[in-house]
């Protein structure tokens, strides 16, 4: 990405699409090099009031804004603890049953669902990294392009080949 910027690839009109590219990578490269890159994330700190509130708490502790991996980890641990509480035990089968029945509604996802194969289905967001002059403040890196509904972004459990899925 840095070399593409140095060679004027994006400035020349081509778009770069990045896989597994998060806010941390954009921050590390800087907006000058990363501008124009198109990416998907499941979480962006400036998406809504809930995500901004979580990001403010995270920033106060770390000096960085969270990316989807950090917010997703927080969500997964919190959801697991809720399932343990609801099940009244930490026994695997009881907790797994609760995890599969409970919707995930938190800073990371709205109406997320843990499938029988263990994957969590949630909306993904398509963003483009802003040009430096479009950024209004520190960590203001993404321009929202579209929402990819969870049922389109993730494989259905029955198509996964996972032996946990009963047909």
Within a domain: residue 164? no
pLDDT value at 9 more than 90: no
Q: What pLDDT is attached to residue 45?
A: 97
What is the total count of domains within the chain? 1
Q: What pLDDT is attached to residue 23?
A: 95
At 104-114, the pLDDT tens digits run 999 999 999 99
Q: What pLDDT is attached to residue 10?
A: 78
> Which residues, in sequence order, are bridge partners of residue 112?
104
Domain span including residue 45: 2-159
pLDDT value at 72 more than 70: yes
Within a domain: residue 67? yes
Within a domain: residue 144? yes
Within a domain: residue 49? yes
| Percent share of the chain, pLDDT over 70 | 99
Q: Where are the beta strands (DSSP E) in the chain?
A: 38-41, 113-114, 120-121, 124-129, 142-148
Confidence grade of residue 136 (pLDDT, cut at 50, 70, 90): very high
> Mapping DSSP to helix (H, G, I), strand (E, B) and coil, where does residue 149 land?
coil
- Rama region for 16: left / alpha / beta (φ>0; ψ in -120 to 50; rest): beta
Within a domain: residue 38? yes
Cβ(39)–Cβ(103) below 8 Å: no
| Percent share of the chain, pLDDT over 90 | 81
Q: What pLDDT is attached to residue 19?
A: 79
Q: What pLDDT is attached to residue 111?
A: 92
> How far is the C-alpha of 116 from the C-alpha of 97, rounded, in Å?
9
Q: What is the Cα 19 distance to its own chain's centre?
A: 12
Within a domain: residue 165? no
Q: What pLDDT is attached to residue 167?
A: 53
At 25-70, the pLDDT tens digits run 999 999 999 999 999 999 999 999 999 999 999 999 999 999 999 9
- Distance, first Cα to last Cα, the chain: 44
Mean pLDDT within 140-163 = 94
Q: What pLDDT is attached to residue 1?
A: 82
* Dihedral pair phi/psi, residue 40, rounded to 5°: -115, 145
* Averaged confidence pLDDT in the chain: 93
Within a domain: residue 117? yes
Within a domain: residue 57? yes
Which CATH number is 27's domain given?
A: 3.40.50
């Amino acid at each position: 990405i840095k070399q593409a910027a140095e060679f004027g690839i994006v400035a020349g009109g081509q778009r770069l699409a990045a896989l597994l590219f998060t806010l941390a990578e954009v921050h590390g490269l800087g907006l000058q090099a990363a501008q124009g890159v198109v990416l998907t994330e499941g979480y962006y700190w400036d998406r809504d009031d809930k995500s901004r509130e979580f990001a403010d708490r995270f920033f106060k502790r770390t000096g960085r804004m969270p990316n989807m991996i950090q917010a997703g980890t927080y969500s997964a641990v919190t959801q697991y603890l809720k399932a343990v509480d609801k099940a009244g035990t930490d026994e695997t089968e009881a907790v797994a049953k609760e995890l599969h029945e409970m919707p995930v509604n938190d800073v990371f996802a709205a109406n997320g669902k843990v499938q029988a194969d263990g994957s969590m289905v949630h909306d993904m967001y398509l963003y483009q990294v802003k040009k430096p002059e479009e950024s209004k403040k520190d960590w203001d890196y993404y321009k929202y392009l579209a929402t990819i509904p969870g049922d389109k972004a993730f494989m259905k459990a029955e198509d996964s080949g996972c032996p946990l899925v009963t047909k």
